[in-house]
Amino acid sequence: MEIKEFISNFAEQFDDLDASILSPETEFKALDDWNSLVALSVIAMIDEEYDVTLKGNDITGSNTIQDLYNTVCERM
């Protein structure tokens, strides 16, 4: 898996978010459109695309998209 693909899947969970503004260093919880439903969508996307089951606390414990990506890679 490449982080580019991960970021694109991540961006799709928002209503209107241009994936090009995201980078591995983006602190995703600071994004204007971040909310609890997006969090659930990201968890469901990761389950569906990567077959990794994250918990709510995994999201809380990640700051950047890179953090999240690393967690997913570790558990694949």
CA 68 to chain centroid, in Å, comes to 6
Helix and strand totals (H; E) in the chain? 4, 0
Interface with another protein, residue 54, by CB under 8 A: yes
Stretch in the footprint of another protein (CB under 8 A) among 2-10, 17-25, 43-51, 66-74: 43-51
Stretch in the footprint of another protein (CB under 8 A) among 3-11, 15-23, 36-44, 67-75: 36-44
Interface with another protein, residue 57, by CB under 8 A: yes
CA distances to 19, 20, 45, 71 from 40, in Å: 19, 22, 9, 16
Interface with another protein, residue 8, by CB under 8 A: no
